[in-house]
Amino acid sequence: MIRSLLFSLVCLTSFAQELPVKALVGGTLIDGYGSTPIQNSVIIIEGEMIKAIGTIETLDIPENADIISTEGMSVLPGLWDMHVHTMINGHADYSYWDKVYPPILEDVIMPSSAEQLLMAGVTSARDLGAPLKESISVRDRINNGEIPGATLYVSGPFIQKKPYPGTEAFRWGINGVEDAKNKIKKLADAGVDCVKLIDQDQMTKAELKAVVDTAHKYNLKVVAHGHRPQEIRMGLQAGVDCFEHTGLSSAPRYPDDVMEAIKERTAQMNLGPLFWCPTVEGLFNYEYVRDNGEHLDNDSWHRGLHDTIIADIKNSFRHKDRLPYFQLTPVRKPTLETKIKQLINAGVVLMIGTDSGIPMKFHSQSTWNELDVWVNEFGIDPMYAIRAATYWPSLWMGVSNEVGTVTEGKYADIIAVKGDVLRHIDLLQDVDIVIKHGKQYK
């Protein structure tokens, strides 16, 4: 007994000595929980994990450590984007894209999106709506270390009443309660991480309940569109776990009965927080992008894409002012701040999500823009915004004891950027250091 204990101790120690050790030294650490940042921080990374956290004064740096200076930088958990679409990449014509690109989603488009996210400091992302086999394959190859990319949590196909013509590969229709149960079981068996619902106001209440209850039976949370008042009402009744978008088109605010229903839900502590990704930056910044848009020529979004694909995407928004997708956006824009504040005041917990991949919105640029609009346009506290891009998403995904904050014993998903992000959140547009699971990618 003692001998085997000794033996395993020896094994453990010698194994530990072989793991590469990194020390991030000097920067101001914002750990993701939301409290006062730690100045002159030291983070010791051993292999994939965070081993110890302290300050230059309090923590000894192991002799074998590879020292990475973070002097003058903000150090924070790798960001999360809770609403991305890796199967698209800024092309403005969806019906064309859905005809031409499906054969290379798995090997080119989705991996390129995931890598672009990673290089932008987004170490985890919730991918909401793509073909099932491709979603699982890309996620698993990233997790196995075969290809670089943000850790993906995938929904696979959209679940809705009826797929739009030509989108059947990544939108599954629901016809009746049994069909709902079967399709959700099929997703669960394939290994998705959550379920994405849209147009749930077109389903019967029984179908919707079957979708949500079956998902919950398999420990899958349900993300639902909140574009129309009835989608929100029915979603709340059925018990969905997160709403998406700042919807209701150009209507000035959420109606009173919807707000009452939301407050009824947020009043129930036993159900946990009500989560919401408002995904505002694509809408808020549309006019700016239309009239300026030099950043569209930035090659950060070319990573992983062949020249012909880049040209095809560029060509699709040659006339940025004529895109049907954004026809009504200028009318919606002034309503966004009111709606986002209604949600905050009702006790909803907002998370950073962007709809990245929609026309002219690239995975290399979306996430910091969402943070920027929240903080610099809507006056949201920067620490609240950072928490909404780190701690809360990991909690929602059920992995908060593994990632989401810079904490001893968690995976080392850490970014660093020169300057003070609490003062200037837009510094996040150019992160200097990206580490995922202990490996430095930037």
**Residues within the interface to Zn ion (CB under 5 A):** 355
CB of 146 to Zn ion, least distance (A): 27
CB of 441 to Zn ion, least distance (A): 26
CB of 83 to Zn ion, least distance (A): 6
Which of 33/164 has CB closer to Zn ion? 164
Which of 31/355 has CB closer to Zn ion? 355
Which of 90/382 has CB closer to Zn ion? 90
Q: Exposed (0-12), middle (13-18) or buried (19+): which is 130, by Cβ within 10 Å?
A: buried
Which of 81/355 has CB closer to Zn ion? 355
Name the CA dihedral angle for 411, 412, 415, 416, rounded to a multiple of 10 degrees.
150
Residue 372's SS3 state is: helix
Determine the length of the chain.
442
User: In the chain, how many H helices and how many E strands?
Assistant: 15, 19
Which of 201/355 has CB closer to Zn ion? 355
CB of 267 to Zn ion, least distance (A): 29
By beta carbon distance, the residue nearest Zn ion is 355
Which of 93/355 has CB closer to Zn ion? 355
Q: Spell 213-251 as b/e; 16+ CB within 10 A means b.
A: bbbbeeebbbbbbbbbbebbbbbbebebbbbbbbbbeee
The CA distance from 302 to 87, in Å, is: 15
Which of 70/366 has CB closer to Zn ion? 366
The CA distance from 303 to 236, in Å, is: 40
CB of 171 to Zn ion, least distance (A): 12
Largest alpha-carbon pair distance within the chain?
76
CB of 164 to Zn ion, least distance (A): 14
Full 3-state SS string of 200-263: HHHCCHHHHHHHHHHHHHCCCEEEEECCCHHHHHHHHHHCCCEEECCCCCCCCCCCHHHHHHHH
Beta bridge partners of 24: 43, 68
CB of 356 to Zn ion, least distance (A): 9
